[in-house]
Every structure is written in structure tokens, then in C-alpha cells.
Amino acid sequence: MILVTGGTGRVGRHAVSGLLAAGADVRVLSRDPGAAARLPSAAEVVHGDLAHPRGLGPALKDIEAVFLVWPTLSADHAAAAAVEAIAAHVRRVVYVSARGVSRIGWSEGTILGSHARMENLIETSGMAWTFLRPGGFAANTLMWAPQIRATGTVRWVHGKAARPLIHERDIAAVGVHALTGTGHDGARYELTGPQVLTQIEQVTVIGEAIGRPLHWQELPREAALRAMTAQGMPPSVAGDILDAHAAMEATPEPVTTTVEDVTGAPATPFRQWAADHAGDFR
């Protein structure tokens, strides 16, 4: 049996569906009974929280592998205890990390630093492991949905920042192959979509998907930082995100072929993602 954490989230729900389609027995660890009720009936759901590792025993009983999504942007003190609890029961783990992770040069309190710490904890746990390192999620453009619905204009920063956004379903598909196939132990898979687009171009594609023209209005960095922190994001995390986008104006993120290399199917274009999510923007 395979345990999926974050099974009601953007990537996890696709992992649940993909594992069930592959014939695996699936258990989902969930903090939210309401959200878990929307999962496929074939998935077993258990209540639990990675942030409280002492209570994970029942969820880990008879589990052979874990699809691990850490629930916060910080690998806090609970992370080591959670990995230790998982390693006491489980032989293999597939962890959803992030592209650009390195143990050198990333300080604590950064997004990449947190992922690097999680990777290190897993590597030294004795479990077999595979790390999924996706770049920008296409689903992150959903933050623009309220503006698009209200005004048809996206006011945001670094419109010329360019990257190959990845469909969350493709991240899950690579994870499913890693959990159900062979030859993936010790792999660090950098995952992207198939096409580099600027943020301005992403907005144009969303407009085409919903059938009306959309516009971009460049926002000063300071205004974007205030908006992000007003929504509860730690200033250091918000700063990391904005710094990364500034860098992508000069040097766009490159495309990888890893999704197709692992799954045999090409990565999903952003245009298809926008069509799949058009209802979220209308």
C-alpha cells in the first residue's frame, strides 16, 4: 500500500488518481475531512497531520512507500520527527521538492533551504528515495483569477520573467512512475513544462482559453511585496519569489525533457493547462 500526503492538494490529488489507475492500493493522510470526502472512493482516508508526527503510526501501518508533500514552506522541527516516523515503517519515499535546490548557498528560512533540509533528512534516513524537483507550477497563475474575473487586467510584477510552467498532473505522473516502477531510486528529477513563456504571454494564453482579451499592468516590486505579505506570506519567502522572477527576466528557466523521459508522454503545454482550468478564471 502507498501513502499519499497532501492528497487533497494540487499535486497530491492527481497522485491519488494516478496510483489507483496503476492498480496500487492507496491511503491518504488528510487534515481536512471535508476535502478528503471528494477523493475517489477507492482511496482509504486516515486523519492525521505531518506536523504532529507522534500520531502517524496508524497511517503508516502496512505502508510500503510514501508520496510525500510537506505541508508548509518551512522544514521546521517537526520535519525531522516526521521523516524518522516514516522511515521506521516505510522502505521508499518520493518527495516533492523544488527545482534549484542545493545544499550550498541556501540559508534557513528560504523556500529552497527548507526543501534542501527535507532532502537531506530523507537521504540520511535509510529509505530509498526519489526527489521530484518541479519548476514553476502552472497552477500558481490561479492567483491572478480574482483580477481576471473582476477587471480583465493582471497587475503584477516582472511581466517579462520567463519559465516553462508545469501542469500539476505531470508532476504527479512522474511520482506515480517512481512509486510503481523500477530504476528511480536516488534520482533527482528536474521537471518543467515544454515551453518557455513570459508572464505576459501566460496571461495572453489564459485570455485565449476563456475567450476574451486580457491585459498586463506592471506593478512595482514594493507593491507586490506588500500584497504578498498582507496575505500572510513571510517577507523572506515573498522576497525569494520576487528575486527569482527578477532573475528570470534576464535568464529564462530552461526546459527539461524529464517528464517525457520518465513517463513516455510529453509534458502538457500551458495552453492545455489553461483550457483545463478555464472555469477558474471566468
Q: Which residues of 114-127 are buried (b: 16+ CB within 10 A; e: fewer)?
A: bbbbbbebbeebeb
List the chain domain ranges: 2-134, 135-167+192-254+268-282
Confidence of residue 247 (pLDDT cuts 50, 70, 90): very high
Position 91 scores a pLDDT of 95
Position 34 scores a pLDDT of 80
Position 21 scores a pLDDT of 97
Residue 234 has pLDDT above 90, yes or no: no
**Regarding predicted confidence, which is higher, 172 or 239?**
172
Q: Which residues lie below 8 Å from residue 227, measured CB to CB, with a gap of 6+?
A: none
Q: What is the model's pTM?
A: 0.93
CA distance 80 to 82: 5
CA distance 87 to 107: 26
- Arithmetic mean of pLDDT, 231-243: 86
- 158-202 pLDDT, tens digit each: 999 999 999 999 999 999 999 999 999 999 999 999 999 999 999
Choosing among 3.40.50.720, 3.30.420.310, 3.40.50.1820, 3.40.50.300, the CATH entry for 135-167+192-254+268-282 is 3.40.50.720
Q: Helical H runs in 151-198?
A: 168-180
CA distance 14 to 179: 14
Confidence of residue 75 (pLDDT cuts 50, 70, 90): low
The strand pairing partners of 133, in sequence order, are: 190
Position 73 scores a pLDDT of 60
- Arithmetic mean of pLDDT, 196-215: 98
CA distance 275 to 58: 40
CATH class of 2-134: alpha beta
Percent of the chain with pLDDT over 70: 95
Confidence of residue 19 (pLDDT cuts 50, 70, 90): very high
Position 79 scores a pLDDT of 87
Position 109 scores a pLDDT of 61
Check if 2-134 and 135-167+192-254+268-282 are the same fold: yes
Position 103 scores a pLDDT of 53
Mutual angle of helices 221-230 and 235-250, in 10-degree steps: 140
**What does the DSSP assignment read for 30-49?**
ES-HHHHTTS-TTSEEEE--
SS3 101: coil
